[in-house]
Structure formats: structure tokens, C-alpha cells
Amino acid sequence: MINKDFENIDFAPIVLFAFNRPEHLKLTLYALSQNAEFNLSPFFIYCDGPRSAVDRLSVDKTRLIANQWPHPNKTVIESDINLGLAKSVIYGVTQIIETYGKVIVLEDDLVVDGAFLNYLNRALRKYENNPKVMQISAYMFPMPEFLKRLEALFLPNISSWGWATWSRAWSFFDRNAVNWELLLGDNEMRRAFDVNGSYAYSDMLFRQMMGKIDSWAIRWNWSVHRCSGLVLYPPVSLVKNIGFDGSGTHCAVSNFEYTQMESKMGPIEFSEDVQVLKDDMVCIETALKRLSGPAYIRFMKWISNSLRRIRLKYKLR
């Protein structure tokens, strides 16, 4: 039985974005239902429209699951047209956050731990009035160094796999990524945006602005960076991405195990000291380099990214 104090807590609304993967959505919903806070939270499922007649059957199956899943505070929003993930997320998050002032965001290929909602809601309350904190991430990169750690940590980059934020932070989201071109010529700024050169976030932003990809996340990352904002991460991931099976629009087939979820023995602790610690950054930079591949692969990517940056720089002159 849930006690009265728990019932009276103001839980953030949960927003789940779905498209055409009914079996993935089932797994996401089941995992969410294992969180004690789930049925006490406002719950919104945004279902994108089909891209073509080929998608219609899988989209309809996905919507059937969304509408039939039992939840006392659920609203399903179905789009008549295909918006794509980026527009769906921007529209849905903005719409819900304008009403509730905060939001928890998921996509339909994420399986969450039983401590997912507890962690995010506590963090939202803890750092609600701290302007330095702009996002709460429930995902953590594969970090064996943190397996025995109890305290969450701050990093300067965002994560798109299970996260939360407030209206005060989302108000800085810049869909146009104003001044992105500064990264073309400012090596120091570009290195900082790339987490001390450990991951090519800047190249993702360049491709976004060239129309090669459509990502809300890289534009949100740029928005947080421009505000010198910080993101709270758990020491061990509370989210696992199951979309790397070739079924997703933005996920290729991959055998890489991105994370092993582990519920902590008790709640994750939060620090009063809101800053990025040097030792944590060293660990994260190492992890991001691992995600980028072996040294020779990173070198080849660096050459390709540099050539793209040079071409883009001259194109904009």
C-alpha cells in the first residue's frame, strides 16, 4: 500500500513518443509500470503518423497498444501526419511543459529500471530552483568505474535516453541553433562542446544545420552548452536502449551492449555541490572515446569531420 505522503507528492508528467514499433512499446510500457509512481503520474503518449502506406499497419498496432494500456491518468495524442521524431519531441515537450512546468521524456525503444521515476522526480524537486542544472538524465554511459558509486554526478552534455527538465530550462531550447557557425572557426569552443575533444558533437550539429540529419537532441545539447548548463547523471544507468535491432529510424543494427541496468541498494544520493568534478570528467571522456571506436577509427572520423568543417566554412563565406 502507498502511504498518504507518497500520494500527495507532485509527480512530473511522463511523455512517451511512439511511432511504428508495437513490440518495443509493450516493453517500454511494462517497464514503466514496474515503477511505483507510474499510475500516480500524468501520462501522455504521442503517436506519430505513418510516413507511407507501408507504415500504416504497424502504426495502427502501436496506437492500439497505446490506447488499450491501462493507466488512470493517460492521454493519447495521435498525429494525422508524420512529423518525425525531432518535431514530435519538440512539439510534445513544449506543449506539456507549458502546462505542468516540468516533464519526464521517453521514446518507445527505452526500457527503464524500477527506480527510474523515483530518481527523476526526486532530482526534479531537488534542483528545481537551481538555474545551473538544465536536465536530469536517467541514462549513464557504460562506466565500470562507477558501479559502486552511490552519488549522482554532473556533466556538461545532455543525454536523450530517458530524461527530465523544467520549463525554466526548456525555455532556452533553440531549434535554430543560433550562432552554431562559431564552432567552425573557434577551436577552443568546439573542443569544449565536444567534451574536451572526446566525442564529435560539433560534427553532429554541423550535419543538422546542413540538413543531413534531423535531431532535436543535438540542438538541445547546443542550447545547454550556450547557457553553461549542467546535466545530472546517475552513477549507473537506469535506462537501456533496445532499439539497436534495425527497427528504429535513428538506430542501426548493433551488437554493442550499451548498458547494464542495476537498481541501487537504496536511493541515489544528490550533491549540494553543483559542479563538474575533474575526476568524473576524465572517466567520461574515456567512456566517450570508447563509444567512438578504436583509435584508428577515431582518427579517420577526425579527418572526415575536419574536411566537412572546412567545406562548410568556405560555403558560408
Domains defined for the chain, CATH in brackets = 9-172+227-276 (3.90.550.10), 177-216+286-317 (no CATH)
Helix (H) or strand (E) holding 141: none
At residue 178, the 3 state secondary structure works out as coil
pLDDT at 289 over 60: yes
55: DSSP letter = G
Picking from 259, 280, 9, the residue whose alpha carbon sits closest to that of residue 138 is 259
What's the pLDDT score for residue 169? 98
Residues 6+ apart with CB under 8 A from 186: none
What's the pLDDT score for residue 107? 97
pLDDT digits (tens, 9 = 90+) for 50-61: 999 999 999 999
Question: Residue range 271-276: average pLDDT?
Answer: 95
Beta bridge partners of 16: 45, 106
Whole-prediction pTM: 0.90
Q: What are phi and psi of 54, to 5 degrees?
A: -60, -35
pLDDT digits (tens, 9 = 90+) for 178-220: 999 999 989 999 999 999 999 999 999 999 999 999 999 999 9
What's the pLDDT score for residue 252? 40
pLDDT at 43 over 60: yes
pLDDT at 64 over 90: yes
At residue 29, the 3 state secondary structure works out as helix
Pairing assessment for the beta strands 133-137 and 230-233 based on DSSP bridges: parallel
